[in-house]
Structure 1
């Protein structure tokens, strides 16, 4: 059995959807904090059980019978994330899982200037010490493009700190790639890159936005401290603004410049481009 956590979210929800196309439903399990949100999977024959990274007992039960467990990285910024990840890894080991997979981040490393990289690297170290075969799916960046680019549709300007190459991936593509790894006869050991071979910059997004809208969308570079100050003035906590700034600072060093070919191989097609993803966010879709 393959048990997937975080399946009520976009990333691992897409993974379960694609697993259902590859393996029988009765060989798939979902571990969810709120099982009602996973009812649509249960209705299709998927085993759904309650499991929380904060509750090792229910988590262990939700992993029962699993040969593979896919752990989504915690998104609870108020929690001790590494403790949650340790709970999940230990529960998977106790349940007898033969392989543990984890949704990591492209470039995960203790030396990276972006704090999230260290958190993912620490989780990978736990996996390596678990005594169980493991795979770290180092996804490219994904998320809300409106948050990344700001209110450009209203202002005509992408006004952000200086940036560099970003391996931006469609979450649905990353989820599909994870399903391909889980269902494959081939073994994927240790860290594997699920990042597109082509990176983009905010200037590239401005060009794509101009082409999609028929307007001239400018890319304006804002001083780091001015940007943080503007964010705080708009109501964003300073700690959150500085965390985001660290991501821009990491990209501008070229830290994320190297993508890979594995994502395309797993999908059997080219991943959706940044421009295609940007088109999905338009208030008025292109004609």
Structure 2
């Protein structure tokens, strides 16, 4: 049996949907904080159990009978995320799980981007766990609007100096993770899942201009000025500075390395950032 955590979230839920096209529902379970939110999976035959990273005993019970567990990483900035991940890893070990797959991040290391340090610490716990593990080092994914700001209204992409960003689509990551979970190939240790075509904000401004027929301009904003503007618009200071750290990392080429594995798993190229940009245009 495969058990997926965070299955009521965007990535975990999409992974479950992909798994349901590959394996019988009877071979699939989910560990969720609120079982009522996973009723749509239970109605399709998926085993739904209550579990959260804050409750090791419930988590261990939710992993019972699982050969593989997908641990979707936590992202609460107010929580001790590494300690919560340790709870989940310990619970999987205690439940007799054979392999843990963990949603990490490309470039996970004690480097310039703070979340990368948290992922690296979790990978170290996995390495010491005594069971097989796979760290799914994903490129950046999510809404492009988070990266580009209100460009459709202003005609300007205003952000700090950047560099190549491996912006991918969550749906592609979910599909690839399902392929790994349902497949026969074992991937040990860290693997990188990212696009073969990293893009810069200059690239995205050019794509946006072509798609809209407007002149979309890329403007480089001073780091501290950008933080001040973001906080003035309501973004908490710690989130603004974490995003700034991402820009500072990418401008040094920290996330520029491409890897072919995601393309191989999908059997096609991942959707390009220009496709995602087209989807976002209103």
- Identify the TM-score tier after normalising by the shorter chain: over 0.9
Tell me how far 1:147 sits from its aligned partner. Answer: 1.5
Give TM-score, length-normalised by structure 2. 0.98
Tell me how far 1:279 sits from its aligned partner. Answer: 1.6
For 2:30 and 2:274, how far apart are their aligned partners in 1? 33
Matched position secondary structure for 1:191:
strand
Provide Cα deviations, 1:150-171, integer angstroms capped at 9, x if missing partner. Answer: 0000000000000001111100
Residue number in structure 1 paired with 2:43: 43
Contact 1:12 1:175 in 2 (8 A): yes
RMSD after superposition: 0.8
Residue number in structure 1 paired with 2:54: 54
Residue number in structure 2 paired with 1:203: 202
Matched position secondary structure for 2:280:
coil
Contact 1:10 1:172 in 2 (8 A): no
Matched position secondary structure for 1:121:
helix
Contact 1:50 1:62 in 2 (8 A): yes
Residue number in structure 2 paired with 1:25: 25
For 1:200 and 1:38, how far apart are their aligned partners in 2? 36
For 1:28 and 1:135, how far apart are their aligned partners in 2? 19
Once superposed, which parts of structure 1, at least 4 consecutive aligned residues long, lie more than 3 Å away? Answer: none
- Note the residue ranges of structure 1 that are not aligned, 5 or more in a row: none
For 1:13 and 1:233, how far apart are their aligned partners in 2? 34
For residues 191-270 of structure 1, the aligned pairs below 5 Å read 191-270=190-269
For 1:173 and 1:234, how far apart are their aligned partners in 2? 32
For 2:250 and 2:33, how far apart are their aligned partners in 1? 34
For 2:55 and 2:127, how far apart are their aligned partners in 1? 23
For 2:255 and 2:233, how far apart are their aligned partners in 1? 29
Tell me how far 1:18 sits from its aligned partner. Answer: 1.0
Matched position secondary structure for 2:112:
coil
For 1:204 and 1:181, how far apart are their aligned partners in 2? 32
For residues 4-153 of structure 1, the aligned pairs below 5 Å read 4-110=4-110, 112-153=111-152
Matched position secondary structure for 2:134:
strand
Provide Cα deviations, 1:228-277, integer angstroms capped at 9, x if missing partner. Answer: 11112222222221111000000000011111110011001111110111
For residues 157-196 of structure 1, the aligned pairs below 5 Å read 157-196=156-195
For 1:179 and 1:141, how far apart are their aligned partners in 2? 18
For 2:43 and 2:279, how far apart are their aligned partners in 1? 29
Tell me how far 1:183 sits from its aligned partner. Answer: 1.1
Aligned residues: 282
For 1:239 and 1:135, how far apart are their aligned partners in 2? 30
For 2:8 and 2:213, how far apart are their aligned partners in 1? 37
